[in-house]
Structure 1
Amino acid sequence: MAASKCVVITDDEQGYDLDLFCIPKHYSNDLERVYIPHGLIMDRTERLARDIMKGMGNHHIVALCVLKGGYKFFADLLDYIKALNRNSDQSIPMTVDFIRLKSYCNDQSTGEIKVIGGDNLSTLTGKNVLIVEDIIDTGKTMQTLLSMLQDYKPNMVKVVSLLVKRTPRSVGYRPDFVGFEVPDKFVVGYALDYNEYFRDLNHICVISEKGREKYKA
């Protein structure tokens, strides 16, 4: 499959002043800039829903949410797919499942991937699976998950990730559907966390040094 088109955010993109948006007061000193505003995330997610409908055909899809960071993107993406099911000629039945992976401590990927849950992956045998992820950093986590899934012999596996990070640590993995390609910065918000904080932030933002120190594990 050809590489997915996406919105590319360049290395010199400065983002937006925090004062231009509604930011929760408890995070006002913990962030540098708003990087991707919530409205832009939603518009891009709507388009991804359409691309997924087109790319996965008229098959029953099992949407597999990678927790915890993927839950907001997952919910919004499914809402857009459901709207397409209601309002267009093409309609895809969907069921949902969840898996939790852990590979971060503070702002660094540990390289070790813990799978929490996922005991019932045998239900994916013979199914068309859409893995919904918040961010692909090095790509190691997703490669591990994909190789795990192959043991259960799904019919088709596609991956959609809201963000893909441009990083020298990348193993070269690229998802089938991508929302935004972002520089090698640690971003939070829209369910992406730093030690469990910032999930309750609508926009995707760059964390400040003060924020890193404050919420360090």
Structure 2
Amino acid sequence: MADNSENKSGSGDCGIVIRDDWPGYSLDLFTYPQHYSEDLECVYIPHGVIMDRTERLARNIMDDLGDHDIVVLCVLKGGYQFCADLVERIKTLNRNSSKTLPMSVDFIRLKSYLNDQSTEDLHIIGAENLSVLSGKNVLIVEVIVDTGKTMKTLLNHVEGFRPKMIKVAGLLVKRVPNGPGCLPDYVGFEIPNRFVVGYALDYNEYFRDLNHICVISESGKQKYKV
């Protein structure tokens, strides 16, 4: 992947840029659940690379927000793994850094996808409990941003509770037409417009049990279509 990406470290950037011609890695080079052997095209971002990039994002967040109390708002369901790993790495920095970042964690669920298409029908579950964000520094943690419309809607909703500050960490930003409407402050990877699964990203609730981020095959889409 190194030959097909550009590393732009630091916060407020577009992260590691994976170019359109990146073919991914052969599935034969990695271990993964064999019940998905016919459902994937390739390993797009290996789990170890995700972990290393997440560690760097944690350091950037600590550099920017250290010594401030924050509320981490995890966007479910897809964001649970990224959020857990990011928080764990911030906790490690808390133990081994001159700065500290006291955290509490809250959760919200967004649902807008049917099969591989984002719909206009956005459901925000848990929104009624966000009054705890009033006057707080908020870090929204989302696993993927494509058009940015969903994130913009969520930001508008969170702003209604009058937090002191809002930052967004997104593991993936997808290059799509007319997007993103909202770019995260901390970005792991910028990826082409391909439908990816794994690392808690799903296709109709399947593939959350896959550690790597992979490209789903056309046969996989048909197999799990609803």
TM range, smaller chain = over 0.9
Which one of 93, 100, 104 corresponds to residue 91 of structure 1?
A: 100
Give CA-to-partner distance per residue, 1:33-90, whole Å, 9 cap, x none: 0000000000000000000111123110100000000000000000000000001111
Which one of 30, 42, 45 corresponds to residue 33 of structure 1?
A: 42
Q: TM-score, normalised by structure 2?
A: 0.94
Q: TM-score, normalised by structure 1?
A: 0.97
Which one of 163, 167, 174 corresponds to residue 172 of structure 2?
A: 163
Q: Is the 8 A contact 1:191 1:201 kept in 2?
A: yes
Determine the C-alpha separation between the residues in 2 that align with 1:79 and 1:59.
17
**Which amino acid is the alignment partner of residue 139 of structure 1?**
G
Determine the C-alpha separation between the residues in 1 that align with 2:22 and 2:35.
25
Asked if 1:215 is matched to 2:224, the reply is: yes
1:163 partner SS: strand
Determine the C-alpha separation between the residues in 2 that align with 1:213 and 1:110.
19
Asked if 1:43 is matched to 2:52, the reply is: yes
Uncovered stretches (5+) of structure 2, i.e. residues with no partner: 1-10
**Which amino acid is the alignment partner of residue 23 of structure 1?**
Y
Asked if 1:17 is matched to 2:26, the reply is: yes
Counterpart of 1:143 in structure 2 is: 152
**Which amino acid is the alignment partner of residue 75 of structure 1?**
A
Which one of 77, 81, 96 corresponds to residue 68 of structure 1?
A: 77
1:53 partner SS: helix
Shift of 1:209: 0.5
Asked if 1:127 is matched to 2:136, the reply is: yes
Determine the C-alpha separation between the residues in 1 that align with 2:140 and 2:63.
16
Of all paired residues, the percent bearing the same amino acid is 67
1:175 partner SS: coil
RMSD: 1.0
Counterpart of 2:110 in structure 1 is: 101
Counterpart of 2:3 in structure 1 is: none
Which one of 193, 196, 215 corresponds to residue 205 of structure 2?
A: 196
Counterpart of 1:153 in structure 2 is: 162
Determine the C-alpha separation between the residues in 2 that align with 1:103 and 1:207.
19
2:43 partner SS: strand
The alpha-carbon distance between structure 1 residues 171 and 21, as it changes in their structure 2 partners (threshold 3 A), is closer
Determine the C-alpha separation between the residues in 2 that align with 1:111 and 1:87.
44
**Which amino acid is the alignment partner of residue 4 of structure 1?**
D
Shift of 1:171: 4.6
User: When the two structures are aligned, how many residues end up with a matched partner?
Assistant: 216
Which one of 61, 71, 76 corresponds to residue 52 of structure 1?
A: 61
Counterpart of 2:5 in structure 1 is: none
**Which amino acid is the alignment partner of residue 52 of structure 1?**
I
Task: Name whichever of 164-173 and 180-189 sits farther off.
Answer: 164-173
Q: Is the 8 A contact 1:98 1:118 kept in 2?
A: no
**Which amino acid is the alignment partner of residue 208 of structure 2?**
R
**Which amino acid is the alignment partner of residue 124 of structure 1?**
L
